[in-house]
Amino acid sequence: CNLTGWWENDLGSKMQVFNVDNDGTFSGEYHTAVSSAKKPIQPSPLIGSQHLDEDGQCTFGFTVNWKKFSDSTAVFVGECFKGDDGKEVLHTSWLLREKVDSEPDDWKATR
């Protein structure tokens, strides 16, 4: 799987991976289409790592820092699959950590 390029999810968010190094390290930008932040959404930097495998399927993970418009950070993990039509598809899971004002509020900080 070649992660380099543009990817779009079901909600209209887009991710651009600039380049994947020989060791699997990559960077890019995430353009989210959804947010609960009060500031306008802006493209956010991402950095990640891909496990390069000889069969073409790969696992990967990346972190997005929403610092331009929110006090939160998200991590994504996933795997690339080739569909029956030959098109590459990413399946991911994510966790989002929002800033809270105190330790007692920690319970509501992660989604």
pTM greater than the 0.85 cutoff = yes
pLDDT at residue 56 in the model? 61
Q: Are 5 and 19 in contact (CB under 8 A)?
A: no
Report d(CA 66, CA 37) in Å as an integer: 10
| Angle (CA) 102 106 107, round 5° | 140
Give the count of beta carbons closer than 10 Å to the beta carbon of residue 12: 10
Domain boundaries, the chain: 5-108
When pLDDT is averaged across residues 5-33 and rounded to a whole number, the result is 94
Q: Are 35 and 45 in contact (CB under 8 A)?
A: no
CATH number for the region 5-108 comes to 2.40.128.30
When pLDDT is averaged across residues 10-15 and rounded to a whole number, the result is 93
User: What does the mean pLDDT of the chain come to?
Assistant: 91
Among 5-19, 48-62, 73-87, the least confident range? 48-62
pLDDT at residue 37 in the model? 77
pLDDT at residue 83 in the model? 82
Radius of gyration of the CA atoms of the chain, in A: 15
69-91 pLDDT, tens digit each: 888 999 999 999 888 898 899 99
The burial class, CB within 10 Å (0-12 / 13-18 / 19+), for 55 is: exposed
Q: Kindly provide the residue ranges of all beta strands, DSSP E only, lying in the chain, ordered along the sequence.
A: 5-8, 14-20, 25-31, 44-51, 58-65, 72-82, 88-98
